[in-house]
A and B are shown apart, each in its own frame.
Chain A
Amino acid sequence: MATIAVPLGAQAEQQEAETLRRPALTDYLRWSVDHKIIGVQYGVAAFIFFMVGGAMAMLIRLELWTPDLDVMVSGAAYNSLFTIHGTIMIFLFIIPMWAAFGNFVVPLQLGAKDMAFPWLNAFAFWLIPPAAVVVLLGYFVSPAEAGWTSYPPLSTLFSGDGQTLWALGAHLLGISSIMGSINFIVTIFNMRPPEMTIWRMPLLCWAVLATSIIAVMATPFLAGALTLLLLDRVAGTTFFDAAGGGDVLLWQNIFWFYSHPAVYIMVLPGMGVLSEVLSVHSRKPVFGYRMVGLSSMGIAFVGFTVWAHHMFTSLQPELRIPFMITTMIIAVPTGIKMFSWLGTIWGGKIRFTSAMLFALGFLSLFVIGGISGVMLAALPFDIHVHDTYFVVSHFHFVLFGGSVFAVYAALYHWFPKVTGRMMNERLGRIHFLFTYFGFLFTFFPMHVVGMLGMPRRVAVYVEAFQPWNQLISLAAFVLGFSSLIVIYNVIKSYYHGPIAGANPWRALTLEWQTTSPPPTMNFDDDPIPFEDPYGYGTEASAAYLDAVDEAFSGAAPAKGGGH
């Protein structure tokens, strides 16, 4: 069909795209079993949901500009707004977003041609759009008002039919997540090249492995809880209704037995990204590689023993202390990672690329979120700030300051591999500044209003908190604006960015030892992993990288130097 006349500009564009071996944009709208296409599908879909959830956050901040109810028609409308905000951000943005990077990068890092189950992979992705429709439909029918945690009796007796749709949608997303995770585990265990022992596996793969183990073992708890919730709502059972011989706390226990491990589903891949980015961009081996890999597993394991710290105010008092202790213990593997990251960049030849800036942003913000986490683990303090903005601040520090910053770091780091073109670094730095300071001034003051006693999940508050809330709202609008910069950067760079070449960062992991973007089956020849995925700074690694540049020469100007 090449005979159809194409405008010359478009033809040139097409030719260039062919030299880059990029899939056509329409390929991303079709069913495809190629993990690279699926990764981008996950990423774009998740980012769209991020924007939708972000727009809702803007509305929330607009409502909180004044102490009175003015933007929303009722308190109930506000309830449903923060419910859908949380649901979108967690189930539709951050979990699928990590599936995006996992899908694109993990098989490449393993030197594999695809995931273990390509068809299942595509199926898991295509469950997300219908699930999103169901959840969002619920919001417009008669919205769920019980928060993303959906505690009964709020979610059984007081929420509208939207809650039923919410539960159905969450069910579908859970199934999608389980299928995706099974795929990751099998891929990581079975599809490594013979030279790559588990102790030579890149740390992102370790993190995705730990994440997937958590997802396979924890998400079914959500599925079970949602099944019972649906029965309560639809079939008249009373599993969660004390008046009918049920138990309200049963939901909290099952839900958090899923959802606490799930917070590590949301952040562990980000920690894996950080180990990659910090090591590559500071040209140094990861400090304590084995301990970092093991600490991911440690977090996965200990993560199952801390769930009731979400229930300090509803739990039997004698169980509080044990859960306080386990919660403190889980800070240890996280601390190991922190220590490793600092040790990695210490004395390194740091290149302040956008990816590196976001990784450093993660470091500085996540440590605050980690510390407020340990504060919340301390029972006396928790009871004081329970259900206040201090808690809101804490989980945004770990989920936004942690996960989202890692998402951005990963975006700037792997965008050249995905599209064959570099992102605009200048715009990247501007984006970083807006995001970092927008974030800091949005969420740090929340610690203060929280300790002063402002409760979360209310649209109306005491007038004394207004100056704080106005500061927070202003900063939140800046934060919201910052995401427009990255959208512009992505679109602009996709078409006009400089050609990246195979290995623009001179990284040692296998995803860089092929063209950008990689060919259909990922590698034209079987790649040979370097003996140490992070062995930067040795002559052997420099020779290896030079050989890679040579093999893909013409497309790979060796920039940035360093080895």
Chain B
Amino acid sequence: MAELTANQLHTAAHDDHGHMSEEEHNNNMKLGVWLYLASEIVIFSIMIVGYIIFRINEKDIVAQAHEELGVALVTANTFVLLASSFFMVMGLRAMQQGNRAGMLRWIGLTALGGIVFLGGQYIEYSELAHLGIVLGFDTASEWSTFGMRFYAPTFFHGAHVFVGVLWALEVMRRGAKGRYDNNPIGIEMFGLYWHFVDVVWIMLFTLIYLV
């Protein structure tokens, strides 16, 4: 019993970040998220470079793909994602001004933007599937080599949007309880992630759909 209590005390003491000032805690969190994002950049860059090499070698397939893909839907989708980044900033600003309800509204809109984006991506994927553009290699299909290089980065990005939506909901849950009233670092960290996801999308959009 005695030892258990010691262990619990231990855990409590370490868990509460009781050993750090708020400023120290915030600085640590920010540096941590930046490092995490640096590692994410690497993973995305592998898929992006893979696509670029394919783009250079297989101009015809890509030109054909551009005709089929169309940019109307994806442009709208990109706009929604960019707007959600703006909502995100507004949410952080609201919290910094002490406006909890405003923060919840804006972050809610951010999450909604992410959901709309994922819906758009779903519609696009279904259209492409009808055209026979699939992930796996298929000797019979003229798209056989394009599909995997298209789906891998865009789906990987979509997965990040999905995680971002979950994160936004979590921020709202915590925010509603007043967790960020004094220290909005949690919202700021989510913001860093969300902007990162946005920037990656701008790169993917430009590389895959525009050039």
Contact = CB atoms under 8 A, between A and B. Distances in A.
A559 to B, nearest CB: 30
B148 A217 contact: no
Contacts of B2: 1-2
Interface string B2-45: 11001101110111010110001001100110011011111101
Given A178-B39, A220-B39, A239-B50, A244 B32 contact: no
Given A33-B15, A216-B39, A239-B148, A27 B7 contact: yes
A520 B42 contact: no
Chain B: number of interface residues, binned into ranges? 35 or more
Interface string A116-140: 1111100000000000000000000
B135 A114 contact: no
B46 interface: yes
B50 A216 contact: no
B66 to A, nearest CB: 19
B145 interface: yes
B137 A236 contact: yes
A38 to B, nearest CB: 10
Contacts of B24: 190-191
A2 B35 contact: no
A34 B14 CA distance: 6
A241 interface: yes
B148 A237 contact: yes
Interface in B90-104: none
B152 A228 contact: yes
Contacts of A178: 36, 39
A186 B28 contact: yes
A189 B38 CA distance: 17
B31 A245 contact: no
B32 A231 contact: no
A357 interface: no
A245 B39 contact: no
B43 A241 contact: no
Nearest to A1: B1
Contacts of B6: 23, 520
A235 B28 contact: no
B115 interface: no
Contacts of A236: 135-137
B31 A185 contact: yes
B155 to A, nearest CB: 10
A227 interface: yes
Contacts of A224: 42-43, 45-47
Interface string B104-146: 0000000000000000000000000000000111010000110
Interface of B: 1-3, 6-7, 9-11, 13-15, 17, 19-20, 24, 27-28, 31-32, 35-36, 38-43, 45-47, 50, 135-137, 139, 144-145, 148, 152, 156
17 contacts: A1-B1, A26-B3, A33-B15, A34-B10, A112-B19, A116-B28, A181-B35, A186-B31, A190-B24, A220-B41, A224-B47, A228-B46, A237-B137, A238-B137, A245-B145, A520-B9, A520-B10
